[in-house]
Amino acid sequence: MASDQVTRVINHAFLNELKDCNVALWEDVALLGSYAQEPFSAEWIEQNAGQLLHRLREQMSCQFRLEETFGYVVGPGDVQDKNVTKAIGQHFSLILQSTALSEQLDELEYCGKLCSETHEMFRQMKRLYEAIMEHEALERRLVAAAWAPILPEAANSVEHRRPLHQEAS
């Protein structure tokens, strides 16, 4: 009796290629990270955070659709690796988190309360950045594990590779 459940596996070559090609996303993630690491002003939030969060939301949504189409493909077996399930779940969670933060910022700006919420926005942007980095680390481990049976030395270099946006810095 065949199972109705779809099992997804990593298509490591496509997943790597998709990540390497989306320079605009990684530039915005790096920008988010730079502001998550150091305090910024209420003026910066008013002038830049909304646009940044809108771009991130759209870019991540597109990136994750591509990854789930070409980077996580239907594969053999009845049991999906728990880390594949976790990574796909993180896609959904990151989109929800970035959407909620973007909408919250828009609402605060509309109500004229954005300046008074600078600290809270900083905290939430930092949390979003950390969640993105956690997700990217998991996907690097998945790609490394997928390479291991084929080319062990490549698997080791992929697993320890810094995120693309940090390599450019």
Tell me the pLDDT tens digit for each residue of 114-147.
888 888 888 999 999 999 999 999 999 998 887 6
> What pLDDT is attached to residue 120?
87
Q: What percent of the chain has pLDDT over 90?
A: 47
Q: How far apart are CA 69 and CA 17, in angstroms?
A: 13
pLDDT of residue 39: 65
Task: Give pLDDT tens digits for 47-79.
Answer: 888 899 999 999 999 999 999 999 998 887 777
SS3 143: helix
pLDDT band (50, 70, 90) for residue 155: very low
What is the spatial distance between Cα 147 and Cα 138, in angstroms, rounded to a whole number? 14
Percent of the residues in the chain that have a pLDDT greater than 70, as a whole number: 83
pLDDT at res. 145: 85
Q: Where are the domains of the chain?
A: 9-159
CA distance 4 to 92: 22
Query: Model's pTM, two decimal places?
Result: 0.83
